[in-house]
Structure 1
Amino acid sequence: MSKQVVLITGASSGIGKSIGEYLHQKNYKVYGTSRNPKQKELNGIHFVALDVTSTSTISSAVAEVLQQEGKIDFLINNAGMGITGPIEETPDEEIKKVFDTNYFGVIKVIKAVLPSMRAQKSGFVINITSIAGYMGLPYRGIYSATKGALELTTEAFRMELKEFGIKMTNIAPGDFATNIAAGRYHAPVKEDSPYKKNYGNTLKLMDKHVSGGEDPIVMAKKVHEVMQEKNPTIHYKVGEWLQKASIALKHILPDKMYEKMLMKHYKL
């Protein structure tokens, strides 16, 4: 019996790397993408060049995997970037760049893979979102918006794909110990900014959360668990109890009370 084939975007580091290496250990054929792969294979991950903002590289990467394997059983959309800053002071081009990566790029990759999945009458698309996508977080509002948009789009996509035997779900991680903080765009803390104090303090708190986050292997194991589901649910959350509880509280508490709770958490 041939191995099931997995394509993971953003597999050169962090959560994507952990997922790829773990799935290789579980006997999947794993293809991982990065914009500029440094090697063709590492720790069981076969790398292909792909930039989620470039349609031509997406098409080439998907074609390469299909040529080698004849199928893609699982697509895991993990590639993404972070962004922080007061929305008023975040440059428009940076807002557009993060939407191009975290939202429009994901849609482009899905579109490229769907025809082959429809032809084989099976397939499973897993979108890695974020617990931040369930709420508008101060100084991380644009990031929250990109992940929240993907959560909602997946809800619609699932219903459109059911007749073709294709499954789709979201898995939303909380804070994990990865290099996302180093790679994200930070709007500078300006000396003359009215947001200087609160943004500066919130930025330190966010970096502390990431550096003290869980091991990405926890996320890898959850992804593998979800991959075994015959009838996956729409939303999964992975993170510390408090992070997951914050989503439940948003549905229970009055809006202004929830807002006050967030502001207290971020010391605003």
Structure 2
Amino acid sequence: MRQKIVLITGGSSGIGRSVGLFLKSKGYKVFGTTRNLQNYPEFSDFKLIELDVRDNTSIDLAINSIIASEGFLDVLINNAGIGITGPIEETPQTEIKKAFDTNFHGPINMARAALPQMRKQNSGLIINITSIAGYMGLPYRGIYSASKGALELLTEALRMETKDFGIKITNLAPGDFATNIAAGRYHAPANSASPYYKPYSKTLGIIDDHVQEGQNPIKVAEMVYKIINTKNPKVHYKVGSPVQKFSLILKKILPDKVYERLLLNHYKL
């Protein structure tokens, strides 16, 4: 049986690296991407290639090189993403654009580059890594929530548009996992002169605690493996703590203002 080819954006660390290692252990040939290959001279977990999801030229070069060497692209995992926190009023427009260029436009760019090959194969799977935060507007994480929520909806549409080509597309929304995302997240400065200073500072501490106390990202890798081996994947998958997944059920059944109050209490606002 032919070895299946998997491409994971943002594969050098965190969830992407965990998924890549797990799939490699299961016999898949894994390619991971990073924006700066020179930063990982000793990386040997799997093949790491340079790619920026915001740059269509680098995307085309990377995907064309994989197809040229392997002949197939079976699974694309759109994992690359960046965090962003801050009061919406005070978050610089350049940072908002950067977040959407990576978290939303990036997966679109990747899908556009991969779909012609998958259509030619009459097979393929695209997994968009979103976030449980994309199902709700979270205080001081509104831009991040919006970028991931937009990707969830885009995936719903793209599934229907590509259903006749043998291509399967799905969302996987993780909750909080113990990764280095906090280190790379953009934080709007907590300015003591800002009217948001106290609530934002408090919320920022809670957000960072959630990440530090998060689950092992191997759980995301196991879910990815399950999806790959599912004949007809669902539209949406979630992986996270029972509390995080239960919060989505509550959002569906509770009145909006009641759910909003729960969030305000959770963040002590």
Q: Normalising TM by the smaller chain, what interval?
A: over 0.9
- Residue pair 1:76, 1:125 contacting (<8 A) in 2 also: yes
Tell me which residue corresponds to 2:242. Answer: 241
Deviation at 1:68, TM superposition (A): 1.0
Tell me which residue corresponds to 1:113. Answer: 114
Q: Partners of 1:157 and 1:147 in 2: how far apart? A: 15
What whole-Å deviation, never above 9, does each CA across 1:193-219 have from its counterpart, x for those lacking one? 000110000000000000000011111
Tell me which residue corresponds to 1:72. Answer: 73
Q: Partners of 1:141 and 1:73 in 2: how far apart? A: 34
Q: Partners of 2:115 and 2:41 in 1: how far apart? A: 27
3-state SS of 1:110 partner: helix
Tell me which residue corresponds to 1:154. Answer: 155
3-state SS of 1:30 partner: strand
3-state SS of 1:127 partner: strand
Spell out structure 1 runs of 4+ moving beyond 4 A. Answer: none
Deviation at 1:36, TM superposition (A): 1.4
- Residue pair 1:40, 1:46 contacting (<8 A) in 2 also: no
Q: Percent identity?
A: 60
Tell me which residue corresponds to 1:5. Answer: 5
Could you say what the CA RMSD is over the residues aligned between the two structures, in angstroms?
0.8
Residue identity opposite 1:42 in structure 2: S
What whole-Å deviation, never above 9, does each CA across 1:15-65 have from its counterpart, x for those lacking one? 00000000000000000100112248612x111110011110000000111
Unaligned runs of 5+ in 1: none
TM-score by length of 1: 0.98
Q: Partners of 1:158 and 1:6 in 2: how far apart? A: 19
What whole-Å deviation, never above 9, does each CA across 1:42-94 have from its counterpart, x for those lacking one? 12x11111001111000000011101101100000000000000000000000
Size of the aligned set, in residue pairs, is 267
Residue identity opposite 2:149 in structure 1: G
Residue identity opposite 2:44 in structure 1: L
Q: Partners of 1:231 and 1:101 in 2: how far apart? A: 28
Q: Partners of 1:97 and 1:224 in 2: how far apart? A: 30
- Residue pair 1:18, 1:217 contacting (<8 A) in 2 also: yes
Query: Following superposition of structure 1 onto structure 2, how do residues 133-144 of structure 1 map, counting pairs within 5 Å?
Result: 133-144=134-145
Q: Partners of 1:39 and 1:168 in 2: how far apart? A: 33
Unaligned runs of 5+ in 2: none
Tell me which residue corresponds to 1:188. Answer: 189
Tell me which residue corresponds to 1:95. Answer: 96
- Residue pair 1:128, 1:171 contacting (<8 A) in 2 also: yes
Tell me which residue corresponds to 2:44. Answer: 42
What whole-Å deviation, never above 9, does each CA across 1:153-194 have from its counterpart, x for those lacking one? 000000001100100000000000000001010001001000
